[in-house]
Amino acid sequence: MRISEFRNAKAEDRFRTAYEQTLTSLWPGPRTTLDIPTTFGVTRVYRTGPETGDPIVLLPGSGGNALMWHRYIDDLAENHPVIAVDTVGEPGASVQTSPIADGRDGAAWLDELLTALELTAAHVVGCSYGGWLAINHQIHHPGRMATLTLVDPAGLADVGRRFYTWLIAGGLASAAPRPFRPRLARLVGNSAILETELMGLVRASMGFRRALPLAYTFSDEELRSLHVPSLFLLGARSALHDSAQVADRIRRLAPSARVEIVPDAGHALPADQPTLVTNRILNTASQKPS
């Protein structure tokens, strides 16, 4: 089995330079940088906010890193410690050293990370693939999460051709000259391509070979095992799945979970509705486990 890594030293240097520039530009405020060793590699996390309080842990989507949450940090960190994670195996400052074969391995990595950070009641927020990892953790290692906020998470339905078409269209649109991107973003339904600095970082990551497992669909039994207070935020126009069908499935299998279908939003929900997502994260973090 392979691990995620850069094609060569030149590709890695190009990405590292772009990453540091983007970090400085998008997150100029105070932060503590931690490199946490795990069985699967060293994981980079950034911590900010008050020293005490209920921590919020942010997991990015596939191909992303902690910087995808840059516009959320100040609001979330006003009353909560915030820990933004570069997932091992994704293009970021973490370095993978052992393969992650499946969701169980992904859950083990996340459990090692939360244990090393001494978090026993974390409010975990997972976007897309990060949501899939968070659900896997709750299935295989329950007890460390106080709440879950899942932002258009993967693993709730089989992925079809529509999603891969959306990904390709978004990639092509992001390479267009900047004046054309607003119109293209509306056309392809992906407002994330308007994040100019992040799109530059995405282009710099083209020399990164991602080798993480596909987000397979959770079984009914697995979803029934979710008992932690959870909010599923689904984009009404998500290309990842049929949000209405997914919402029905969650309500049937995990009746204690809350489900919200967000109008005027697609799979790029954090970019489409940042204020709403911020409010929902904070509202969920205010809950206490039953």
Q: The domain spanning residue 227 has which CATH number?
A: 3.40.50.1820
How far is the C-alpha of 20 from the C-alpha of 227, rounded, in Å?
39
Q: Are 232 and 135 in contact (CB under 8 A)?
A: no
**pTM for the whole thing?**
0.94
Q: Is residue 192 part of a domain?
A: no
Pairwise CA distance, residues 195 & 191, whole Å: 8
Strand ranges in the chain using DSSP code E only, listed in sequence order: 5-6, 32-38, 41-48, 56-59, 82-85, 95-96, 122-127, 145-151, 208-209, 230-235, 258-262
| Chain length of the chain | 290
Judge whether 199 lies within some domain. Answer: no
Residue 281 lies in a domain: yes
Task: Give the model's pLDDT for residue 274.
Answer: 93
Query: Does 225 reside within a domain?
Result: yes
Name the packing angle between helices 196-204 and 161-174 (round to 10°).
Answer: 100
| Weakly modelled stretches of the chain, pLDDT under 70 | 288-290
Number of domains in the chain: 1
Token pair of 219 as six digits: 């079984």
Residues 9, 68, 289, 248, CA torsion sign: negative
Cα separation, 248 vs 23, whole angstroms: 39
Question: What pLDDT is attached to residue 90?
Answer: 98
State residue 170's pLDDT score.
84
**Do residues 212 and 221 touch, judged by C-beta distance below 8 A?**
no
Instruction: State both tokens at 19.
Output: 């990453």
Q: Is residue 12 part of a domain?
A: yes
Q: Tell me, yes or no, whether 260 lies in a domain.
A: yes
Query: Distance (Å, rounded) from C-alpha 68 to C-alpha 59?
Result: 9
Confidence at residue 247, expressed as pLDDT on a 0 to 100 scale: 98
User: And the tokens for 159?
Assistant: 């992925």
Residue 188 pLDDT:
80
Percent of the chain with pLDDT over 90: 80
Tell me what pLDDT residue 288 has: 64
Instruction: List the domain range (segments joined by +) for residue 106.
Output: 5-158+209-285
Q: Which amino acid is residue 3, in one-letter code?
A: I
Name the strand (E) or helix (H) holding 112.
helix 103-116
Query: What's residue 83's pLDDT?
Result: 98
- The neighbour count for residue 68, using CB atoms within 10 Å, is 25
Kindly state whether residue 63 falls inside one of the protein's structural domains: yes
Q: Does 171 map to a domain?
A: no
In DSSP terms, 124 is beta-bridged to: 57, 148
